[in-house]
Amino acid sequence: MHLEPECIPCLINQVLRAFQLLEPDTPREIIIDTQKKLMNYLVDFDIEKRASPIIGKVAYTLVAEALGVKDPYASIKKKYNQLALQFYNEARNIVTKAEDPLFEAIVVAALGNTIDFGTSHKIDFINDIKNFTPDKLAINDYDAFKQSLLDTDHLLILLDNAGEIVFDKLLVETLLKTFPELKITCSVRSAPIINDATLDDAIFVGLTDLVQVIEASGTPGIYLPTTTDEFKKQFFLKGGVILSKGQGNFESLHGMEIPDKEVYYLLKAKCSLMERLFSVKQGNIIFKRKTENF
């Protein structure tokens, strides 16, 4: 995705929110200096380049450098993995007893996307799960997704956040029960970036016990030039289906031509840009099949 007008103030504000979350007592001079460094980067940025997820990595690298910590979100990611695991059994019972367990698992995995410290959306995923109503699924290409899985033997899931990965595990379990012959591969970030899930998170929640988990790139989204060889192999494998979770991955794939693949976006709208692109309201869940140039 190219840089959009809505992104500029959001990026600057993300720096502020990061300091407020990680080090509330950070002096104003350090915060403003970090914001200025990001603004200087944006001044020289070629807006014809695909901006996501490059700029997101720059923003959070600047925050990490200012704090002098390589992975400033490490303890928070661990906390939310542990918290989500406390509700795993309850969520699994809900999914198992549902009239359509796969649909329910997709909803739960989408609601898990609430756990995102990179946006201003309120972090309250437990109540989101309990209070979900079908009308919040603003775009629903579930039937097309099921048919796509019937027509393939491989699914690549692009994972998003720590914490959320617990409910992704539940989705994977349900997919394996529904489509026993389906080979599922999941991708995570290759290095710490914001609260995005890494291989350590996948191991911690037990996802690696179920399916192959590979590393993509160390950016908040998929930046193909820096992805691992294994990821490129899976991403460009002829045929198959890709399930892209979260806004960062969507922004990476938006407008990208991906031949010989069926691609589906699963995310929660958390900003005005998503409202505009999808014609939905903030808080709505989106489950959309990728179309040409989208």
Task: Output the furthest CA–CA distance in the chain (Å, rounded).
Answer: 57
CA distance 120 to 41: 23
Six-digit token string for 147: 């048919």
At residue 148, what is the residue type?
Answer: S
Per-residue pLDDT tens for 130-167? 677 777 789 999 999 999 999 999 999 999 999 999 99
CB-CB contact of 51 with 11 (8 Å): no
Per-residue pLDDT tens for 74-120? 999 998 898 889 889 988 988 998 889 999 899 999 988 765 555 55
Instruction: Give the three-state DSSP class for 73.
Output: coil
Predicted pLDDT at 119: 55
Query: Which runs of consecutive H residues, i.e. helices, occur in the chain?
Result: 7-22, 28-43, 54-67, 74-86, 88-97, 101-111, 125-130, 142-150, 164-178, 199-205, 229-235, 247-253, 272-278
SS3 sequence, 74-135? HHHHHHHHHHHHHCHHHHHHHHHHCCCHHHHHHHHHHHHHHCCCCCCCCCCHHHHHHCCCHH
Q: State the distance between the two ends of the chain, measured CA to CA, in whole angstroms.
A: 9
Strand order in the sheet with 262-268: 137-140, 285-289, 262-268, 241-245, 154-158, 183-188, 212-215
Predicted pLDDT at 48: 74
Per-residue pLDDT tens for 30-87? 999 999 999 999 998 887 776 667 888 999 999 999 999 999 999 999 988 988 898 8
Q: What region does 213 belong to: left with phi over 0, alpha with psi -120 to 50, or beta?
A: beta
The pTM of the full predicted model, rounded to 2 decimals, is 0.93
Rg (CA), the chain: 18
Six-digit token string for 289: 């099949």
Domains and CATH numbers, the chain: 7-67 (no CATH), 74-289 (3.40.50.10880)
